[in-house]
Structure 1
C-alpha cells in the first residue's frame, strides 16, 4: 500500500518535471530572440535554396547561431580577462621600475652628498696646508 503510494508520487513528480521541461523549451522557442533567430534562419535558407525548408532544419540553424553567439561571448570574456591580467602585470612592472628608480635616486643623492663632504674636507685640508706653509 505504502509502496504503491510512493510509486504514484514518483510518477507524478516525473510527469511534473517533464511538463516543466516541455514548457521551458516552448518558452525558449517562442521567446522574441529565439523566434527572430529561427525566422531569420528560415528566411536565409529559403532564399539560398529557393525552396521551403523543414522547421527542424531552421531550428538546428538557430541552435547553431546561439552556440556561436555563446562561444563568441566566452571568447570575448577570456580576451577581456587576459587583457586585464596583462594590464595588472604591466602595472606591477611599472611599479617595480619606479621603486628601483627611486632607490637609485636615493643612492645617487647619498653618493653626491658624500662626494661634496669629501670635497669640502679636501678644500679645508688644502687651506690648512697653505696656512702652514705660509707660517714656515
Structure 2
C-alpha cells in the first residue's frame, strides 16, 4: 500500500511508525523517486473478493505452461486448470534479452519446491497452505 509522498524520509518513517502502532504489519519506507513519470488515466481496477466463509473451493498458484520457461495467456491458464477466476500474481521476464521468457522476477514456491529465487528485499505475497495462517505480504531474501 502506498500512502503518499513526503518532503523528508523522517516524515515517511513517522507515518510508518504510526501505522505499526495501530497494528499494521509488513510496513516499510521505500524511496519512489525512480518510479517513473506521471501517467494518464482513468484506470480500470478489477477486484476479486472472496467470502472465505462461503467459498468451498481452493486457491492455487499456477505457472504458465506448468513450468517456468515460456509464457501463456491468463485465459489459457484458467481454461487449462478449470479455474473459476484467475489473476496475474507477479512479474516475469518478457523478452529473451532480459533472461528466460516466463522466468519469475521474484520468489516462488509451489508445492514446497523453490521455483524462483527472491529479488532480495522485494515484497512477496505469502499464501500459507493448510496452516490456518492468514495471507501476508513480506519482504523476502534468498541465501
TM band (smaller chain): under 0.3
Normalised TM-score (structure 2)? 0.17
**Greater CA radius of gyration, 1 or 2?**
1
Structure 1 or 2: larger strand share?
Answer: 2
